[in-house]
């Protein structure tokens, strides 16, 4: 497989890619039109912030399976376009966490003590001591918007400086904040009480322009603003107005709406300490993200292991042994079920539900659900994968429901897939007996323990004497070996289900002969 590295990457990272058995080309500084011409040759693309993986470039990447971002931010990648094309987008969120958090603290201190201005004047042989009087951060209040990886680093360092730490983050609990020594507050409360405000949220349609003129109006007079997250989260024009009016005493800015800035007014403002997106620019961070993205690319392209994907569920390496059997079972169940229900899925399916019980409810169910969807929808398209399966489901207006319960029934753990059609529902239930023993344990109303593996015949028949024997004889006469045979029935002399594992694919005439048995109701061959 071939990988293109289109931005500068540590040599150690490139070495990991090559040692992983990948054919690597390093071509940096390509213009968009140049990248469009060659990207179709590659299975993987590694970028940093310089390359813009636009819809046009992604569409041209006919072989692309993965785009790896050596860094945390992925706003230079068209994720919806990648997802629709089935391309995994990975980043390295932990690789530059510490260095970006440290840069935020450094920017706060530089702003507070007028260090850049003092340095510049000293270089001009000017001793302006009185004009450069600063502040202490001791006992001051810092408001942190977003307590993710970087926000957590900033918060812990601020506590070390004996600052009061306020946090706004709708995805953490009061208990967690209190355990870590922070005060969880509303956004308006954070604005009103903070002497310093720093943002550490992702850039999204919800956060663009989050800190704007309305927000500044709610802040203390003389507040100081720091942005080492993403340009555009703080409205640059509104920040300039707040600086000019004196509402904001100073700002430290590392990121901009356009990089490099098209309008340099903010960076040139005398009350602004500005740096050219240096948050992740340390030797350690660049090495960390290069090594991490290289290892992730090799893992995915060689083994299919997804880590740190932004458009597909990832599994932490330490959790993989526990989650992997459920992922495998779910995909096998989906593949089995998709073939059983046939083409009806394309126009009559309304809702897909995944119900997890017992031990199965205690793992990260997101990758498990998506594996099941991939198997289920594979009947619809040869191009369905872990990334685009949810997209395909949504495009068809099919609802997805996930339910978890610790309550156990017959088995200690089960995954149940429920398909709701206009005419009724179908169910399939499976269980992990142990990591190497995966079973389907019920199909609709039939209890049956089936090993979902290889070629399988699924036969519904009348529960009458001699039926199973006749079916087995037909298979044996055709020189096809039966590996395993499983039986289930709804009631005595009612309808039975017979599932047979075969060593090889059944010839067409075998299926036709079984269909002609008087007691046979239906015969399907399934490959899992």
How confident is the model at residue 163, as a pLDDT? 98
Ranges for all domains in the chain classified under CATH 3.40.50.720: 2-93+284-303, 97-274
pLDDT tens for each residue of 263-289? 999 999 999 999 999 998 888 888 999
Of 255, 238, 234, 258, the C-alpha closest to 247 is: 238
CA distances (Å), 60 to each of 75, 170, 207, 378, 518, in order? 19, 39, 30, 24, 55
pLDDT below 50 — which residues of the chain?
A: 343-347
User: What backbone phi and psi angles, to 5 degrees, belong to 507?
Assistant: -60, 155
> For the domain 453-528, what is the CATH code?
3.30.70.260
CATH architecture of 313-452: 2-Layer Sandwich (3.30)
Eight-state DSSP code of residue 222: T
| Sequence-ordered strand ranges (E) for 255-322 | 272-274
Which alpha helices (DSSP H) does 174-271 contain, by range?
174-180, 187-193, 213-217, 236-245, 265-268
310/387 Cα distance (integer angstroms): 10
Mention every residue, 6+ apart, whose C-beta is less than 8 A from residue 326: 360, 363, 365, 368, 413, 415, 432
Q: Which helix (H) or strand (E) holds 84?
A: helix 79-84
How would you classify the pairing of strands 272-274 and 399-405? unpaired
8 Å CB contact between 235 and 248 = no
What is 2-93+284-303's CATH number, 3.40.120.10, 3.20.20.70, 3.40.50.720, 3.40.50.970? Answer: 3.40.50.720
How far is 5 from 3, CA to CA, in rounded Å? 7
User: Which residues participate in catalysis according to the annotation?
Assistant: 230, 259, 277
- Residue 411 makes CB contacts below 8 A (sequence gap 6+) with 358, 431, 441
Domain with CATH 3.30.70.260 in the chain: 453-528
Q: Alpha-carbon distance 100 to 285, whole Å? A: 9
Helix (H) or strand (E) holding 152, with range, is helix 149-160
pLDDT of residue 378: 79
Domain 97-274: state its class.
Answer: alpha beta
CA 262 to the chain's CA centroid:
32
In this structure, the dihedral spanned by the alpha carbons of residues 236, 237, 242 and 245, taken in order and rounded to 10 degrees, is: 140
**In this predicted structure, what is the pLDDT of residue 489?**
87
């Amino acid at each position: 497989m071939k990988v293109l590295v289109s931005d500068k990457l540590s040599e150690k990272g490139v070495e990991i890619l090559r040692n992983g058995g990948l054919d690597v080309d390093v071509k940096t500084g390509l213009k968009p039109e140049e990248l469009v011409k060659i990207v179709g040759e590659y299975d993987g693309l590694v970028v940093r912030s310089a390359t813009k993986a636009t819809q046009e470039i992604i569409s041209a990447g006919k072989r692309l399976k993965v785009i790896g971002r050596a860094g945390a931010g992925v706003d230079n990648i068209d994720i919806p376009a990648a997802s629709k094309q089935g391309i995994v987008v990975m980043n390295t969120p932990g690789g530059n966490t510490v260095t970006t958090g440290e840069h935020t603290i450094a920017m706060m201190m530089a702003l507070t003590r007028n260090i850049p201005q003092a340095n510049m004047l000293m270089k001009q042989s000017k001793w302006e001591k009185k004009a450069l009087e600063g502040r202490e951060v001791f006992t001051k209040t810092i408001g942190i918007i977003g307590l993710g990886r970087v926000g957590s680093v900033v918060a812990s360092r601020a506590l070390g400086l004996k600052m009061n730490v306020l946090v706004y983050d709708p995805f953490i609990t009061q208990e967690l904040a209190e355990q870590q020594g922070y005060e969880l507050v509303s956004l308006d409360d954070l604005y009103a009480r903070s002497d310093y405000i720093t943002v550490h949220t992702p850039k999204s349609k919800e956060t663009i322009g989050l800190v704007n003129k309305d927000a500044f109006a709610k802040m203390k007079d003389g507040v100081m603003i720091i942005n080492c997250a993403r340009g555009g989260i703080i409205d640059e024009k509104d920040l300039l107005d707040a600086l000019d009016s004196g509402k904001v005493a100073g700002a430290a800015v590392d990121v901009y709406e356009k990089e490099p800035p098209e309008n340099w007014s903010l960076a040139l403002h005398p009350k602004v300490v500005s740096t050219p997106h240096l948050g992740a620019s340390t030797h350690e961070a660049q090495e960390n993200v290069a090594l991490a993205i290289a290892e992730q690319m090799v893992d995915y392209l060689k083994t299919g292991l997804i880590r740190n994907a932004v458009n597909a569920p990832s599994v932490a390496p330490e959790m993989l042994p526990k989650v992997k059997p459920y992922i495998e079972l779910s995909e096998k169940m989906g593949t089995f079920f998709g073939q059983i229900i046939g083409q009806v899925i394309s126009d009559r399916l309304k809702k897909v539900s995944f119900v997890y019980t017992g031990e199965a409810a205690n793992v990260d169910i997101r990758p498990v659900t998506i594996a099941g969807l991939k198997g289920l929808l594979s009947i619809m398209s040869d191009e369905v994968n872990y990334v685009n399966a949810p997209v395909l489901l949504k495009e068809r207006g099919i609802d997805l429901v996930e339910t978890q319960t610790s309550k156990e029934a017959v088995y200690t753990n089960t995954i149940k897939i429920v398909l709701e059609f206009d005419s009724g529902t179908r169910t399939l239930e499976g269980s992990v007996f142990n990591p190497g023993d995966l079973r389907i344990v019920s199909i609709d109303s039939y209890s049956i323990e089936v090993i979902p593996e290889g070629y399988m015949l699924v036969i519904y028949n009348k529960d009458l004497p001699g039926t199973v024997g006749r079916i087995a004889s037909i298979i044996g006469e055709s020189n096809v070996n039966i590996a395993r045979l499983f039986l289930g029935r709804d009631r005595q002399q009612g309808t039975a289900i017979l599932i047979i594992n075969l060593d090889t694919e059944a010839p067409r005439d075998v299926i036709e002969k079984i269909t002609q048995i008087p007691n046979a109701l239906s015969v399907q061959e399934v490959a899992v």
